[in-house]
Amino acid sequence: MSDKYKTFSLRLITGLMLVSLPFLGSDCEDVINQITTNPCSNNSSIVGEWTLIYNAGTLLDICPGEVVNFPSQSSGTATLTCPSQNPISRLYTLSGTTLEYTETGMQYNVNFTENCELVLSGINNERILYYSNQISDSKLNMQNSVSAAGNSSEIK
């Protein structure tokens, strides 16, 4: 009787373990989905109004607080405005992660930080530009900008 009891117990435990495996895997899948899901409400879209909060790289020639408005995810006419200056319009295209101002040829790689900030890293220029669509005084960090600078669609 003891061998039958051991065999039955072993089979029961094995069966319960096999039945429970899908439930264990679903928790891991939920964790992975939470990690890989973009926390940004804009779902990694450039569409909207973005304010320059930090200018890095070797070209520190963008006006502090530049505001860029992208009306479409793929292409259109962006409006770029430096504070106390008239806005300018620039045609742009976004192909994959490459943003190009078509009239001037300026190109940037487009990325997003974990804080949902837009990061434009220059492809044919030495700029790294950080933009936010949720501006507060604490985010503005423009100590590396030149006051008589231009906008991000042009090279000076």
What residue spans define the domains of the chain?
1-37, 48-132
- Asked if residues 145 and 64 have their Cβ atoms less than 8 Å apart, the reply is yes
pLDDT of residue 18: 67
pLDDT, tens digit, for every residue of 32-80? 454 445 456 556 799 999 999 999 887 778 999 999 999 999 999 999 9
Categorize the per-residue pLDDT at 143 as very low, low, confident or very high, splitting at 50, 70 and 90.
Answer: very low
pLDDT of residue 142: 46
Dmax (CA) for the chain in angstroms is 93
Overall average pLDDT of the 79-98 stretch: 96
> Side chain identity at 55, as an amino acid letter?
N
pLDDT, tens digit, for every residue of 91-130? 999 999 999 999 999 999 999 999 999 999 999 999 999 9
pLDDT of residue 155: 62
Return the closest-CA partner of residue 152 out of 52, 31, 85.
Answer: 52
Predicted confidence (pLDDT) at residue 14 exceeds the cutoff of 80 = no
Mean pLDDT of the chain: 80
* The token pair that represents 144 in the structure block: 């590396």
pLDDT of residue 102: 96
Has domain 48-132 been given CATH number 2.60.120?
no
- Asked if residues 61 and 150 have their Cβ atoms less than 8 Å apart, the reply is yes
pLDDT of residue 135: 66
pLDDT of residue 113: 94
**Which residues of 5-137 form beta strands (DSSP E)?**
48-57, 67-70, 75-81, 88-95, 98-101, 106-112, 118-122, 127-132
Q: For residues 84 and 124, what is the distance between their CA atoms, to the nearest angstrom?
A: 28
